[in-house]
Amino acid sequence: MITVSEAKDLISENCVPERVENRLLSESQGYILAKPVYSPVDTPPFHQSAMDGYAFSYESWDGKSMLEVCGEIQAGSNVPIEVKSFEAARIFTGAALPDGADTVVMQEHVVKNKKTIRIENVQLTKGANVRLCGSQTKKGELALKKGQLLTAPAISFLAGIGIERVNLFSKPVISIIVTGKELKQPGSEITEGKVYESNSFGLSAGLHALDIAPASVEIVDDAEEDIIKAITRQSTSDILILTGGVSVGDYDLVLPALRKCGVENIFHKVKQKPGKPFYFGKLDQRLVFGLPGNPASVLTCFYEYIVPAISSFTKKQYFKKINMPLADDYKKKAGLTHFLKGKTNEGKVRILNNQASYLMNSFAIADCIIELEEEKEQFIKGEMVNVLMIV
């Protein structure tokens, strides 16, 4: 049996080279840039007024004379106006400065008299209230680096320099196969021996929180041929997640099915609780995760192992890992890393009750998973522990 960190390393080593896709900027929120973006234009694309006011030539003005209003330029208009000495053009925020003008006086600093204005702001300097052409970004200049997260402001910036499409690290295509003869859909009547199926709900929601929709979700019976058919149907996914049937019992048919499908076993069983029978394999370039059927094991393995594998595709960090002091003492046996459902509060993390892998009531209100080291048995209040935030 391997350790948690060995398992994490093996998954990381087996992650495939990322894929790059070209997407519309309007559909790129939350992605990471896979290639740098260079500006195709100067921005602003012309000398632009930053104010509603009057544009004139600073140096051909004597600092006191009235200026004659020679025309008007609205933002977006393209009226050929030339401003001569002792002239000014009425101009609005965002409009292009007319030929001959280099300075804008705000309308609040002007006294207007029919077709002339008197400037009342003695503090005015040359170039005031003008955004120079290219003063944000020059044509050909690096606009954003590879690796940049596309937040709303980053997208607004790229739209503003005329970018329509971007090269991004692709999200992986993920399929979910839930196995179990005992599973009934929530909302239906439950009959003797059956339980409600919850793992497809938990995993789909976990992916949704990463802004990924699973390519397919199948619930299949504990029958080897059914599992093989499902694996075959989903074998083009980048990541295949199976739940249930990964122990070595008579009805644990996932591992034999994976073997028959040609999946290479990278590891099976990890020194951890919950989720000891966790399996990881590879089918060509596809990653195959076999999770134990208990819902707490499923989601613990999802957050601890599958989310980092997804990050290897998207280059995005989804959840923060932090160090935090424990709110209470805790004892465990040596030999397994324990992943415990926790709740942070005022800089401390509390280990919730009900940690057994079939109990989900504590996980439901948890905001983090606490990792307690394999060989350590005693944990003292105030001691720093590793915490993976999940919200």
Q: Which is nearer to a copy of itself, 75 or 380 (CB)?
A: 75
Within 41-60, which residues bind a copy of itself (CB under 8 A)?
Answer: 41, 43-46, 48, 50, 52
Q: Are 339 and 352 in contact (CB under 8 A)?
A: no
Q: Tell the smallest beta-carbon distance from residue 84 to a copy of itself (Å).
A: 20
Residue 325 sits in the site that holds a copy of itself (CB under 8 A): no
Closer residue to a copy of itself in complex, CB, 177/296: 296
- Name which position in 20, 159, 380, 384 contacts a copy of itself (CB under 8 A): 159
Q: Which residues contact 15 (CB under 8 A, 6 or more apart)?
A: 287, 309, 312, 313
Q: How far is CA 83 from CA 61, 67, 86, 98, 103, in A?
A: 12, 10, 8, 7, 11
Secondary structure, 3-state, 158-224: HHHCCCCEEEEECCCCEEEEEECCCEECCCCCCCCCCEECCHHHHHHHHHHCCCCCCCEEEEECCCH
The answer to whether residues 370 and 342 touch, using CB atoms and an 8 Å cutoff, is yes
**Which is nearer to a copy of itself, 61 or 98 (by Cβ)?**
98
Residues in the chain: 391
Choose the binding region for a copy of itself from 189-197, 282-290, 328-336, 342-350 (rule: CB under 8 A).
189-197
Helix ranges (DSSP H) in the chain? 4-14, 152-160, 199-208, 224-233, 254-260, 295-301, 307-314
Choice from 36, 127, 162, 262 touching a copy of itself (CB under 8 A): 162
- For position 324 contacting a copy of itself by CB under 8 A, the verdict is no
DSSP state letter for 40:
S
Q: Does 63 bind a copy of itself (CB under 8 A)?
A: no
282-311 positions binding a copy of itself, by CB under 8 A: 293, 295-296, 298-299, 302
Is 17 a residue that touches a copy of itself (CB under 8 A)?
no
Q: Would you call 337 exposed, middle or buried from its count of C-beta atoms within 10 A (0-12, 13-18, 19+)?
A: buried
The verdict on 132 binding a copy of itself (CB under 8 A) reads no
Which of positions 69-98 make contact with a copy of itself (CB under 8 A)? 73-78, 92-96
Binding a copy of itself by CB under 8 A: which of 4, 25, 81, 130? 25
Q: Contacting a copy of itself (CB under 8 A), which of 360, 370, 372, 387?
A: 360
Q: Please report, as residue ranges, which positions from 227 to 266 form the binding site for a copy of itself (by CB under 8 A).
A: 247, 249-251
Q: Kindly state the smallest distance separating residue 140's Cβ from a copy of itself, in Å.
A: 15
Region of 1-9, 37-45, 116-124, 370-378 interacting with a copy of itself (CB under 8 A):
37-45
Quickly count: other Cβ atoms within 10 Å of residue 2's Cβ.
18
Q: Which listed residue (26, 65, 85, 285) binds a copy of itself by CB under 8 A?
A: 26
- Fill in the per-residue mask, 195 to 234: x = in contact with a copy of itself (CB under 8 A), - = not in contact: xxxxxxxxxxxx-xx-x----------x------------
Q: Using N-to-C axis directions, what is the helix angle for 4-14 and 307-314, rounded to 10°?
A: 30
**How many residues belong to the site for a copy of itself (CB under 8 A)?**
102
Comparison of 61 and 302: residue with beta carbon closer to a copy of itself: 302
Integer-rounded Cα radius of gyration of the chain: 31
Q: How far apart are the first and last CA of the chain?
A: 31
29/65 with CB nearer a copy of itself: 29
The binder of a copy of itself chosen from 1, 20, 111, 190 (CB under 8 A): 190
Q: Which lies closer to a copy of itself via its Cβ, residue 235 or residue 247? A: 247
Q: Which tokens go with 248?
A: 């070595």
Is residue 91 exposed (0-12), middle (13-18) or buried (19+ Cβ within 10 Å)?
buried
Q: Which is nearer to a copy of itself, 54 or 61 (CB)?
A: 54
The nearer residue to a copy of itself, 302 or 379, going by C-beta atoms, is 302
Rule CB under 8 A: is residue 346 a binding residue for a copy of itself? no
Q: What angle do CA 222, 217, 189 make, to 5 degrees?
A: 65
**Cα angle for residues 312, 317, 318 (degrees, 5° grid):** 110
